């Protein structure tokens, strides 16, 4: 079939009711399912801390260090992944990444030493997950949409929370009733199951099927593959690092990662268990966070299309900081209404920061925004990695997580102030020294 014939066939798909649906929405749907399938790995670290401590006698600091390697690589790989997608295409990069996640998670079943946890879960799963991190969603959104970008970013970001909702209760049940090993195998199989969907249904660019991006008035040719993906990622970093907004965005997003992936996702379950709460109950609360994360992130995308993203970020961080200050008083052996209120509130705010952060990267850095966001995401994961490690060390030293909750609340207050001082930039931004 020629490109012209194919374009005529796929320019718009009709639903059974006769409504025309742009192909971009189908690509977004495949991306959503892909991120859900890969989200299984994000549900597991917090469930592994106590079982690995009991099975192997490893300290929580050691286990937290492996999780921190995973989180750091998740972020540091993201900007190179965005550049690799420009060079080799989205399908190839994501398919390989999912396979690496499956291999790393599967190998943990046979590990006997802490260095193997570092290698399998820290290195392999970290590299694989980083290669299809939020930069994946940003790349798909930038290529396939010119309208509704905030909404689509919110929906794709929420996919990770949806995956957590699906997998976390199942994995926690496996860990408590059977062992942590079946849970690790489940993560590997979930990643592999998504690979055929990516290869058969995902397309790299609207021009591949003769389409304009959704909302575009003109056809956008597919750019030529970009040579030197790693060099481009580093070059973009150096250019962006000469601007003030980059450091403010990176700083706020580092605090975002510290207060979500590093803190709540990694340490909430063991902290709740310290107070006598069953593991399945604590994991179910995290799953509820996933439910409301979907609502909050999609709503944040809608708000980002209509309101000033700097002010949205300031509100999100300020409210998150206040909620963390109250958390130590809410932990108890059973689930009670104030804890449910915290869970709902924190879920709404979990990654609501992503759509306005992506919008500010796009405003400041134009065509390089996906790679810049990859570096901003790297700071997010470095912040998460530090708190994942320090949280475990604090628990070993002080016997409680309270200090980490209070410190993270204070950091969120600082992030709110940082968001407000990000300067505006006129249309068609060009990177320039601040």
Residues 6+ apart with CB under 8 A from 109: 181, 184, 185
Among residues 182, 183, 63, 191, which one has the least CA distance to residue 131? 191
CA distance 282 to 120: 26
Among residues 2, 35, 115, 36, which one has the least CA distance to residue 69? 115
CA distance 14 to 60: 54
First to last CA, the chain: 50
220: tokens are 């956008």
132 close to 34: Cβ distance less than 8 angstroms: yes
Q: What angle do CA 251, 252, 255 make, to 5 degrees?
A: 90
CA distance 388 to 116: 18
Other Cβ atoms within 10 Å of 194 Cβ, number: 23
Instruction: Name the 3-class secondary structure at 393.
Output: helix
Q: What pLDDT is stored for residue 208 in this prediction?
A: 73
Cα atoms in the Cβ-side hemisphere of radius 13 Å centred on 50: 17
CA distance 404 to 263: 8
Q: Is it the case that residue 10 has pLDDT exceeding 80? A: no
Q: What pLDDT is stored for residue 433 in this prediction?
A: 39
The tens digit of pLDDT for each residue in 19-62 reads 577 777 888 888 888 887 776 676 677 677 778 888 888 887 78
The tens digit of pLDDT for each residue in 329-347 reads 888 888 888 898 898 888 8
- Cα–Cα distances in angstroms (integers) from residue 176 to residues 21, 31, 91, 117, 278, in the given order: 45, 32, 36, 20, 9
**What element of type H or E holds 129?**
helix 125-130
Domains, the chain, with CATH or none: 21-420 (1.20.1250.20)
Other Cβ atoms within 10 Å of 275 Cβ, number: 15
Q: Is it the case that residue 434 has pLDDT exceeding 50? A: no
The tens digit of pLDDT for each residue in 256-301 reads 989 987 888 888 888 888 888 888 888 888 778 877 877 887 888 8
- Which residue blocks in 89-228 are alpha helix, DSSP H? 90-107, 114-117, 125-130, 134-144, 149-177, 180-201
CA distance 342 to 339: 5
Burial (CB count <10 Å: 0-12, 13-18, 19+), residue 99: middle
Q: Using the structure block, give the residue that is written with the tokens 């942590």.
A: 180
Q: Across the strands, what pairs with 290? A: none
260: tokens are 């979500």
The tens digit of pLDDT for each residue in 193-244 reads 888 888 887 777 787 777 778 777 777 777 676 666 678 778 888 999 998 8
- Which residue blocks in 350-368 are alpha helix, DSSP H? 354-365
DSSP 67-89: HHHHHHHHHHHHHHHHHHHHHH-
Q: Is it the case that residue 413 has pLDDT exceeding 60? A: yes
Its sign, for the CA torsion 31, 37, 41, 44, is positive
């Amino acid at each position: 079939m020629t490109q012209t014939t194919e374009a005529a066939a796929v320019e718009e798909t009709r639903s059974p009711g006769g409504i025309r649906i742009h192909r971009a929405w189908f690509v977004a749907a495949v991306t959503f399912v892909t991120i859900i399938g890969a989200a299984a790995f994000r549900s597991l670290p917090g469930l592994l801390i106590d079982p690995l401590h009991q099975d192997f006698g490893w300290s929580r600091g050691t286990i937290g260090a492996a999780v921190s390697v995973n989180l750091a690589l998740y972020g540091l790989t993201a900007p190179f992944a965005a550049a690799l997608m420009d060079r080799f295409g989205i399908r190839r990069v994501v398919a390989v990444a999912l396979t690496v996640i499956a291999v790393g998670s599967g190998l943990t079943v046979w590990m006997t030493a802490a260095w193997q946890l570092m290698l399998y879960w820290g290195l392999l799963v970290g590299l694989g997950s980083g290669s299809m991190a939020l930069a994946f969603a940003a790349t798909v959104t930038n290529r396939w949409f010119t309208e509704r970008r905030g909404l689509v970013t919110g929906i794709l970001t929420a996919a990770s929370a949806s995956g957590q909702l699906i997998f976390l209760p199942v994995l926690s049940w496996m860990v408590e009733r059977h062992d942590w090993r079946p849970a690790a195998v489940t993560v590997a199989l979930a990643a592999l199951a998504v690979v055929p969907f990516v290869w058969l249904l995902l397309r790299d660019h609207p021009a591949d099927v003769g389409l304009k991006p959704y909302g575009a008035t003109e056809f956008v040719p597919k750019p030529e593959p970009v040579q030197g993906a790693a060099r481009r990622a580093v070059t973009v970093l150096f250019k962006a690092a000469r601007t003030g907004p980059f450091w403010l965005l990176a700083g706020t997003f580092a605090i975002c990662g510290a207060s979500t992936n590093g803190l709540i996702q990694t340490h909430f379950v063991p902290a709740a268990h310290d107070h006598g709460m069953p593991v399945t109950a604590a994991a179910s609360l995290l799953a509820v966070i996933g439910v409301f994360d979907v609502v909050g992130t999609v709503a944040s995308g809608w708000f980002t299309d209509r309101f000033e993203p700097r002010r949205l970020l300031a509100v999100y961080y300020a409210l998150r900081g206040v909620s963390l200050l109250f958390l130590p008083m809410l932990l108890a052996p059973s689930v009670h209404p104030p804890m449910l209120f915290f869970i709902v509130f924190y879920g709404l705010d979990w990654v609501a920061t992503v759509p306005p952060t992506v919008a500010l990267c796009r405003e400041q850095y134009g065509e390089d925004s996906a790679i810049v966001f990859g570096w901003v995401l790297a700071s997010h994961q470095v912040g998460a990695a530090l708190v994942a490690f320090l949280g475990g060390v604090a628990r070993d030293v002080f016997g409680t997580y309270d200090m980490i909750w209070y410190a993270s609340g204070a950091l969120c207050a600082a992030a709110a102030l940082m968001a407000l001082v990000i300067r505006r930039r006129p249309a068609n931004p060009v990177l320039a020294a601040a």
